[in-house]
């Protein structure tokens, strides 16, 4: 195999995963980011839930998400050997309906998933309470195959694994990307292949990348000695039209996410965001009122118009790996594997074809 010089722009979960996997495959990789391992990936909840978050009309995203989900256990195992265990949780996901309106939406989701052949079990609120004693809902769907990961452990592990595999880190912003060359604030990196994985800021690096920031706020909480422990499974619901989810961590923390606003590049945490999240979470899991509030944080998802990412060649030697919308952590393995295939002259996973940057007709 020919060794290629690869410049990856962006050190979030996608950039780090592409850098680690392509370096492990024998390529000469440089990663450019002023603070790798931070950004939106640092703020995430860690849901790997293509089925729980599926919706009619988004079949290509479901197929791509599920293909990546299938790759997650092997990805996590390889990462544990190379950089550290990312704490993949296999307890599954619950989609909960809080009221009659939500229950209607849940039925739409259950019927849709049945039609596309995904096995989910619809249960009453009473049955859910036997599985998750603190969770209060009218009805729920059990989605045992959806996973979750500790995003911060994942990012630390990816940095360590990438370093171990020889990735060079350039702690700087990329200012200009073209065939064979990436300019940074303080110098330049020559390469055979440049990969734009700069999340919400990718749009500023290539005119064909229609990516916009979609702000999300999360809260991190911790149970006190006297309060009910967090649920075992990830719990997702929609409260007053807004998605809310609780993702338990191995260390006893609970991540509560996430708001969703079009707010440009604003990364401040708003009082309204915190209030909305806590109000919704307290309906779903009333014991949260007793928890210690450990942290509030905001990040910018890289959103695309059709919710699919951009994965593929933009121009000679310049590739996109961005626009993963609400699914960056989920889609990291399939995205990284696509690059390993392209660089090695192989065929990428078939589901990646739907994410080609050309699909929007030159936008």
Q: CA gyration radius for the chain?
A: 20
Task: Work out which of 301, 331, 335, 357 binds ligand GLY, going by CB under 6 A.
Answer: 301
Contacts of 117 (CB under 8 A, 6+ apart): none
Would you state the structure tokens that stand for residue 227, as one six-digit string? 């309060």
Would you state the structure tokens that stand for residue 213, as one six-digit string? 């920031």
CB of 135 to ligand GLY, least distance (A): 19
Structure-token match 């990735």, residue found = 167
Contacts of 322 (CB under 8 A, 6+ apart): 10, 14, 196, 197, 198, 199, 202, 209, 211, 302, 309, 310
Query: Applying CB under 6 A, does 258 fall inside the site for ligand GLY?
Result: yes
Query: Applying CB under 6 A, does 45 fall inside the site for ligand GLY?
Result: yes
Long-range CB contact pairs, 267-274, < 8 A, 24+: 267/215, 267/298, 267/299, 267/300, 268/298, 269/217, 269/296, 269/297, 269/298, 270/217, 273/217, 273/298, 274/217, 274/219
- Following DSSP, what letter does each residue of 16-32 receive, concatenated? HHHHHHHHHTT-EEEEE
Indicate the residue among 216 and 333 with the shorter CB distance to ligand GLY. 216
Indicate the residue among 15 and 299 with the shorter CB distance to ligand GLY. 299
CB of 257 to ligand GLY, least distance (A): 5
CB of 348 to ligand GLY, least distance (A): 23
Indicate the residue among 216 and 312 with the shorter CB distance to ligand GLY. 216
Task: Work out which of 248, 257, 333, 349 binds ligand GLY, going by CB under 6 A.
Answer: 257
- Number of residues this chain uses to bind ligand GLY (CB under 6 A): 7
CB of 333 to ligand GLY, least distance (A): 16
Query: Applying CB under 6 A, does 326 fall inside the site for ligand GLY?
Result: yes
Query: Applying CB under 6 A, does 255 fall inside the site for ligand GLY?
Result: no
List b or e across 51-72, with b for residues whose CB sees 16 or more CB atoms inside 10 angstroms.
bbbbeeebebbbbbbbbbbebb
Would you state the structure tokens that stand for residue 309, as one six-digit string? 């990412």
CB of 278 to ligand GLY, least distance (A): 16
Query: Applying CB under 6 A, does 7 fall inside the site for ligand GLY?
Result: no
The answer to whether the beta carbons of residues 124 and 183 sit under 8 Å apart is no
Query: Applying CB under 6 A, does 92 fall inside the site for ligand GLY?
Result: no
Site string for ligand GLY, 185-224 (x = CB under 6 A): -------------------------------x--------
CB of 147 to ligand GLY, least distance (A): 12
**CB-closest chain residue to ligand GLY:** 326
Q: Answer positive or negative: Cα dihedral of 356, 359, 362, 363.
A: negative
CB of 185 to ligand GLY, least distance (A): 29
Interface ranges with ligand GLY (CB under 6 A): 45, 47, 216, 257-258, 301, 326
């Amino acid at each position: 195999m020919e060794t290629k010089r690869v410049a990856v722009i962006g050190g979030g979960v996608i950039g780090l995963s592409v850098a680690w996997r392509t370096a492990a495959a024998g390529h000469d990789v440089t990663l450019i980011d002023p603070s790798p391992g931070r950004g939106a990936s640092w703020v995430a909840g860690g849901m790997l839930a293509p089925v729980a978050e599926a919706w009619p009309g988004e079949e290509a995203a479901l197929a791509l998400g599920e293909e990546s989900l299938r790759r997650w256990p092997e990805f996590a195992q390889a990462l544990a050997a190379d950089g550290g265990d990312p704490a993949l949780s296999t307890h599954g996901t619950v989609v909960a309906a809080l009221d009659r309106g939500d229950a209607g939406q849940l039925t739409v989701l259950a019927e849709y998933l049945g039609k596309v052949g995904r096995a989910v079990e619809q249960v009453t609120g009473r049955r859910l309470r036997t599985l998750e004693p603190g969770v209060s809902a009218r009805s729920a769907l059990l989605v045992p195959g959806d996973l979750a990961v500790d995003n911060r452990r994942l990012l630390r592990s990816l940095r360590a694994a990438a370093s171990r595999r020889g990735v060079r880190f350039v702690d700087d912003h990329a200012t200009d990307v073209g065939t064979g060359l990436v300019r940074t604030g303080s110098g330049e990196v020559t390469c055979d292949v440049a990969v734009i994985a700069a999340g919400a800021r990718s749009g500023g690096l290539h005119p064909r990348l229609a990516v916009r920031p979609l702000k999300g706020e999360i809260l991190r909480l911790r149970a006190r000695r006297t309060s009910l422990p967090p649920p075992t499974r990830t719990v997702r619901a929609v409260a007053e039209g807004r998605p809310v989810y609780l993702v338990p961590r191995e260390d006893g923390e609970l991540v509560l996410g996430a708001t969703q606003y079009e707010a440009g590049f604003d990364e401040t945490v708003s009082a309204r965001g915190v209030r909305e999240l806590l109000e919704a979470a307290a309906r779903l899991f009333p014991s949260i009122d007793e928890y210690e509030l450990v942290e509030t944080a905001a990040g910018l998802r890289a959103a695309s118009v059709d919710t699919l990412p951009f994965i593929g060649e933009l121009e000679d030697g310049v590739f996109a790996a961005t626009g993963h919308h609400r699914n960056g952590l989920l889609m990291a393995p399939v995205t990284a594997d696509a690059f390993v295939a392209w660089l090695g002259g192989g065929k990428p996973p078939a589901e990646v074809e739907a994410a080609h940057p050309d699909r929007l007709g030159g936008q």
